[in-house]
Amino acid sequence: MADTQNNQPTLDGTPIHRYRYCRRCGRPLTAEASRRIGYGDECNPTRHPTPAATRQVDQDQLPED
């Protein structure tokens, strides 16, 4: 999306950056907090971080006592 969709003029005419659409899914944002960060509740990466990658590692068995 172009920046012209997200810049909104204030009363004195200086532009401030507020997102109108979610940066992940593109849906319109209505909450002020969401408009500041650019993500809706479902798409916010800080609330729903991606899980860590799992790795399969070959290991030797531990010796028994």
Residue 47 has pLDDT above 80, yes or no: yes
In the predicted model, what is the mean pLDDT of the chain? 77
- Supply the pLDDT for residue 1: 44
Residue 35 pLDDT more than 80? yes
pTM for this predicted structure: 0.51
Is pLDDT above 70 for 7?
Answer: no
Q: What is the C-alpha separation between 38 and 45, in angstroms, rounded?
A: 11
Q: Report the DSSP pairing between strands 7-9 and 15-17.
A: antiparallel
Domain boundaries, the chain: 3-37
Q: Binning pLDDT at 50, 70 and 90, where does residue 14 land?
A: low
pLDDT band, residue 65 (cuts 50/70/90): low
